[in-house]
Amino acid sequence: MRTRLLLSFSFVLFLLSGFAALLYQVVWQRILTLFSGADLFSVTVIVAAFMAGMGFGSLAGGSLADRLQRRGAMAGFALAELSIGLFALVSEWLYFDFLPQALGSWAQSTPKMTIALFLSLLWPTFFMGMSLPLLAKGLTRSVARASSIIGGLYALNTLGAALGSVAAAWLLIRNLGLDGTLYLGASLNTFCALGAAAMYAWGGSLRDEAQPDALPEELADLVPTRMGFRAWMGIYALSGFVALGLEMVWFRLLGVLLKSNAFVFATLLGHFLIGLALGMLLGIPFARRTRNPSRAFLLCQTAIAPAAGVALLFIMWTVGEGEGELFGGIQQYFAGSRAIEPDRMMHAISLVLSGETLPERLAGQLHDFFAVYLLVPAVMLLPSTILMGFSFPLLQRVVQTDARFLGRRVGWLQTSNIVGSTLGSLVGSWVLLRLFGTAATLRVFVSFSVVFWLLSYYDRTGQHLARTVWSKARGVVGAVCLIALVALLPSSAKLWSFAQGHDADRMIFAEDGTGLTVLEINDDPERPGEQYVEFFAGGQGQGLNPFGGGHVVLGMLPVMMHPDPQDVAIIGLGSGGTLFGAASRDATQRITCIEIVASQMPAIEECIERLQYDGLIQVIRDPRVEWVYADGRSFLAHSGRLFDVIEADALKPSMAYSGNLYSVEYFELLRDHLKPGGFAVSWAPTQRTIDSFVKVFPHAVLAGNVLIGSRDPIPYNLDRLEAQMKSPETTAYLARGGFDSAKLVQQIRKHFVAKSFDESYDRDALVELNTDLYPRDEYGVPQADAER
């Protein structure tokens, strides 16, 4: 009874440890992008560094565990948890203050940035990796139970990680901010350390028992494997390679289907980890009963990638038909241009829990949430991830045959899997997605499953390949099914046509290692015979061609007001409308456009060829424009350049990482990179954005939904603007974009009347702001005084 209680308590501790670990991953990744940039390359390096540290820790933990008695291993686990918690308390200072200030220039060099990220994450991830081998050694009393205990620990830890991922985004960051979430994680690690220390003191249940070197009776009837431990390490590395490669594919596809915002990554990661945990829990009893765990493991690995392909085809078939309220609603959501609004969705859930009636719009939000955020990812991810998890206890059953090497074998297997996973994330995102795109990359991984299929035949003792008629027949059937599945998988055009709910022949898409750009061509209902193009990023509509007036005015207003805007920086290309407006004055000598998704340019080039829109041609071919493909905030911080005007293209405040462009710290960065008399400009989607902007600049103007800030007084003069806009050069320039200069002036006079905030404005009253450590708007935190 005492031993069972000890085991149960240990499982709870390891669940909490996994919960805290994913809090850290979500928060640290967010903070570190402020140093390295939020582009896919930097995020992939952060993920790889996180996994590499865990690999080193797992290796060291396994070696250490086998040198310790069971009580000593439990003490080691307690120290590892305490080390993680203590690091979490100083991580905000290290990642948010020290790295950008002391090593900021390293972000401009890929090797130096990679070194900085790996070293800064090494301490906590090293001890995270140590924890499983140490705890497994502390709890395992016989080899016969090793697969169950190790599988159970890993399953509960993974379940905790899944809950931590979801809770971080949907609950904790919304209410505590990034720093508060870190402190909660540190508290959980401290609790785990204290709990393990208590079990160490409760030494009677951790008394070491004699463990024979020979196979116990329970393992004697297993079908032997012809492959040694090193071979299984290599196979498990391949397993990790496929798992993380598929994750790259899933996250890109589902990021478009769900329409990327701050909650998508954490939600998808939660689904991924829940599938792993469920699979492990299901696999534990099977691993105890099966006589041939090696073959079962290899067959599970064979089925993982094909299961992903079948799941995708099933979703495309059911949703593509669009029959019934459920599938029709999902289809409409995919075809739409707007994402679920997190604040409205959370409000809808609170009304349901309180038993109140939902308004129709909120009911639609709730339907979309359950159908799109829960059902679609579950169908797409769970079949494969359950198989991944199911495999883990089977592999432990294969390799854990001697208690003397229990810790080392846990550690070496985890390390090999992490090495494979790291390579899978790097190759998947930097090579396969960049060169072949999402659809072809999925084909590659489905085809790769044949390696595990062949290994399952090779592992049959006494023969390299099965020679029986029945085995050959099964092999032929399996090969035919695999070839048929690869052939049935959609092409890139069909895949993104489905994801956007639009005809493939009326779409333009381009993808590479930096991301996906999709353009939809539509008939213009106001101009018969004419077409317009809608630009999409992360599944959400971002702008139009021909340009919408709002984007053009956002770019044009500050350069028309500035006395001499020679050097202008625009963060984000989008549909090109903001850039077009910013280039409308001849006085401007250079315009630096910083775009994080490089695939936008080939998509725009094709748009020019098909639409022949003079406004887009004018701005893309403008020799004054300097193109930079990088994270805009990182570029400003490290370029060493000053500008007359700096502004970002309009970005929806709920999109992932949008908080990096609406925070107080970002606006301070703009202020510090302005020339004397220079303007910083932002779209003003929320009251909190206005407050955060005004807090930074001693002089600010709100004109319509355009914010202009400066250290110096701002000459907002509509008469000057009218004179500039009616000059022959500007009039001709705007006409190429389809804009009548005189009508545009009238609209600006009507809708962009200025409200000024000078040095006398009481900025101390502005307290509920967007900051880097609390991006409230991005996470849909309601603002009490939003109507102010």
Average confidence (pLDDT) over 223-227: 74
What digits encode the pLDDT tens for the residues 567-617?
Answer: 999 999 999 999 999 999 999 999 999 999 999 999 999 999 998 999 999
**DSSP secondary structure letters along 545-560:** ESPPHHHHHHHHHHHH
pLDDT digits (tens, 9 = 90+) for 260-304: 888 999 999 999 999 999 999 999 999 888 888 888 999 999 999
**Residue 217 domain-assigned (yes or no):** no
Report which DSSP code applies to 527: S
Domain membership of residue 229 (yes or no) is yes
Average pLDDT value for residue range 646-656: 93
Q: Are 174 and 253 members of one domain?
A: no
495 and 367, same domain (yes or no): yes
Separation of alpha carbons 711 and 567, rounded Å: 17
Q: Of 173, 206, 239, which one is at a domain's C-terminal end?
A: 206
Q: Looking at the structure, do residues 198 and 248 belong to the same domain, yes or no?
A: no
State residue 788's pLDDT score: 41
Domains identified in the chain, total number: 3
Contacts of 354 (CB under 8 A, 6+ apart): none
41 inside domain: yes
Of 482, 501, 520, the last residue of a domain is 501
787 within domain boundaries: no
pLDDT band with cut points at 50, 70 and 90 for residue 466: very low
Task: List the Cα angle 66/72/75 in 5-degree steps.
Answer: 125
Confidence of residue 464 (pLDDT cuts 50, 70, 90): very low
780 falls within a domain: no
Output the pLDDT for position 222: 67
Instruction: Find, among 175, 184, 36, the residue nearest to 782 by Cα.
Output: 175
For residue 377, the domain's CATH number is 1.20.1250
Which 3 state secondary structure label does DSSP give 650? coil
Instruction: Measure CA 217 to chain center.
Output: 47
Residue 122's CB is within 10 A of a number of other CB atoms, namely 16
pLDDT digit string (tens) for 736-770?
A: 999 999 999 999 999 998 999 999 999 999 999 99
Alpha carbon dihedral 455, 459, 465, 470, in 10-degree steps, equals -100
Q: Supply the CATH number for residue 142's domain.
A: 1.20.1250.20
Report whether pLDDT(398) > 60: yes
pLDDT of residue 694 exceeding 90, the answer is yes
- 110 assigned to some structural domain: yes
SS3 of residue 732 by DSSP? helix
pLDDT for 355 beyond 90: no
- 201 with 240, same domain: the answer is no
Same domain, 271 and 130: no
**Domain termination site, one of 176, 206, 236:** 206
What does DSSP say about strands 625-629 and 590-595: parallel, antiparallel, or unpaired?
parallel
Q: Are residues 232 and 280 in the same domain?
A: yes
More confident of the two residues 175 and 322: 175
Digit-coded pLDDT (tens) for 155-189: 999 999 999 999 999 999 999 999 999 999 999 99
In this structure, are residues 84 and 54 in contact, taking their beta carbons and an 8 Å threshold? no
- Confidence label for 470 from pLDDT (cuts 50, 70 and 90): low
Task: Tell me what pLDDT residue 223 has.
Answer: 66
Q: Are residues 195 and 235 in the same domain?
A: no
Question: Contacts for 446-450 with beta carbons within 8 Å, 24 or more apart?
Answer: 446/305, 446/306, 446/308, 446/309, 446/482, 446/485, 446/486, 446/489, 447/482, 447/486, 448/242, 448/305, 449/242, 449/301, 449/302, 449/303, 449/304, 449/305, 449/306, 449/482, 450/302, 450/479, 450/482
Does residue 329 share a domain with residue 190?
no
Residue 707 clears pLDDT 80, i.e. is over it:
yes
Tens digits of residue pLDDT in 613-644:
999 999 999 999 999 999 999 999 999 999 99
Of 687 and 338, the structure prediction assigns the larger pLDDT to: 687
Which DSSP state fits 765? G
Q: Considering the chain, what is the average pLDDT of its residues?
A: 89
- Give residue 571's domain range: 543-765
Residue 361 has pLDDT above 90, yes or no: no
78 vs 396, residue with greater confidence: 78
Number of H helices, E strands in the chain: 28, 12
Comparing 206-220, 288-302, 327-341, 397-411, which segment has the lowest mean pLDDT?
206-220
Tell whether 274 and 163 lie within a shared domain: no
Residue 215 included in any domain: no
Predicted local confidence at residue 170, as pLDDT: 92
Q: β-strands 699-703, 706-710: how paired?
A: antiparallel
The length of the chain is 788
Residue 88 resides in a domain: yes
The pLDDT tens digits of the residues spanning 530-546 come to 889 999 988 888 889 99
**Residue 344: pLDDT over 90:** no
Identify whether residues 197 and 231 lie together within a single domain.
Answer: no
Is 328 or 631 the better-scoring residue by pLDDT?
631
Give the model's pLDDT for residue 787: 42
Q: Does the structure show a pLDDT above 60 at 433?
A: yes
- Which band of pLDDT confidence, cut at 50, 70 and 90, is reported for residue 134? very high
* Same-domain status, 549 and 619: yes
Whether 190 and 238 map to the same domain: the answer is no
Q: What is the pTM of this model?
A: 0.91
pLDDT over threshold 80, residue 217: no
